[in-house]
Each structure stands twice: as structure tokens, then as C-alpha cells.
Structure 1
């Protein structure tokens, strides 16, 4: 007859695993099945900051031509209608990137090695484009466009 024999070390591992599993279950269920990364429910909380960087892709074609494109990263930002938030843009690639945000009077310049902060709040849902006015199309190593998606 084969009996299951557990040493003290094995019992300790099994008990530790059960305790860890129970703790994870407690934490997971305490948040209704999800763990929030941001909650706008507390009026004393700071305004949410969305971080972007300027980026550049470079490549060489089969015939030796160097091509490049500038991008905002991330390329899509989500916000709620009426939600105030800050856009913090850090210039990594490119000396400067003058920009506008369509549908607003917001404009500015992101300089390499510097942070540019823009306070935003949209009262209408829709898609607003953050456009670098230097890199507007393929001929100018663009388009350098990010999308701000505003929902209900």
C-alpha cells in the first residue's frame, strides 16, 4: 500500500501556499474583482497626469536610403468628458516639436530634454488630435499625431 508521506518542509510549503492564495483572494474580492490604478471619486485627489514622450523611428531601405518618422508615445489617450487632466510631454527625440490640439486653443512647443505640461478638459465627447506642426506628413517625417479619445 502506497501512503502519502509529507515531511515537515512539504507541509510548510503547502500551508504557505494556501495562506498566500487566501490573501490574494481577499485582496482581489475587496476591490470587486479588480484593483484600481486610478480613482477620481475622492475630491481631494490630484488631477490625473498622462505622460507622453516624443519618439523617432529610423530605418534604411533596400537601396540604402535612410527613412525616419517621429511619433508621440503613447499614440492614443483616453479621457472622460468633463475630466480635468494634465498632459506631460517629455522631449526625447527631435530638437523641438511645436504642437496644436485640434478643437481647442491649446498649443505649445516640446523641446528635447524638457517637459511641457498642458492642462486639459474636454466638454464634448469625440476624438481630438495632438498634431506636431513640423511633422505633418510623410515628406516631413510624420505624421506625428496622437489621438485623445473623450468618452462619456
Structure 2
């Protein structure tokens, strides 16, 4: 009888330990979407030109999470195209600096909403700081949005994903 109780206690202890390990493993919840990557050299000036609010949103907000997840989804599928991406980063900065110069002449920098004004490159910076695959996916999204209506482009994204 004592051996039966010992085996029962041992089984109960093992079951309890297994449950504790399972609960502990469930509590380890690493969200890879919050990882920030270093932006390519060509895109650094674009980040420097952004307002602090928009840069923080791009590096840790919902746009960053979306870009990171899409980048992870398409990792290894997107072709390696360093030259076009480099040119794109340089050109994006040229466009943003022209727009920023025009906006600064028209708005007061001490205005309460001045942190929200200016060229909005939040989604681009989110893609650049998310992963290597996020920027080509961002460019694909831009092309789809440009070529089709909102509903058609959204439907295409659903099909692609």
C-alpha cells in the first residue's frame, strides 16, 4: 500500500512539475515585432529629418509592428536588390528635404502641433528599421496602392498574404 501511495505521489509531483514548466513557457512571450534594425546608410538622413514623434512611432509603434511582421512573413522570398533600394532611400530623402523646406517657410516651429507637421515618412522609416525584407514589401505596397483602387489593393494584399 505504501508503494502505491509513493507512486501516486511521484506521478502527482511529475504532473505538477510539467504544468509549472508549461505555465512558465507560456509566460515567456517575446514579441519579435518590437525589434529595431539599423537603417541602411542611404536612409539615415531621412530618419534625421523626421520629427521625434513620427520617428518614435515608426520605430516602436503600430506601423513598425506591421512592417516587422510583413518583413518576417516575406523573409527569404523577396529578391536581394541593394542598388534600387539604395537609390530609393537617397531619392526619398531628396523629396522629403524639399517638402520639409517648403513646410518650414509656411509654419511656425513654436506651434503646439509642430511635432506633427512636415513630411510624413513614418511608414517608410518603419520599413527601413524593421528588417531587410520589409523595404521591398513596402515598395510593393506602394506600387499596389498606386496602381489600383483602395479596395482592389487591399484585396490583392489579402491574396498575397
TM over 0.5, shorter chain: no
Report 1 or 2 for greater relative contact order, CA contacts < 8 Å, sequence distance ≥ 6.
Answer: 2
TM range (shorter): under 0.3
TM-score by length of 1: 0.27
Higher strand fraction (1 or 2) = 1
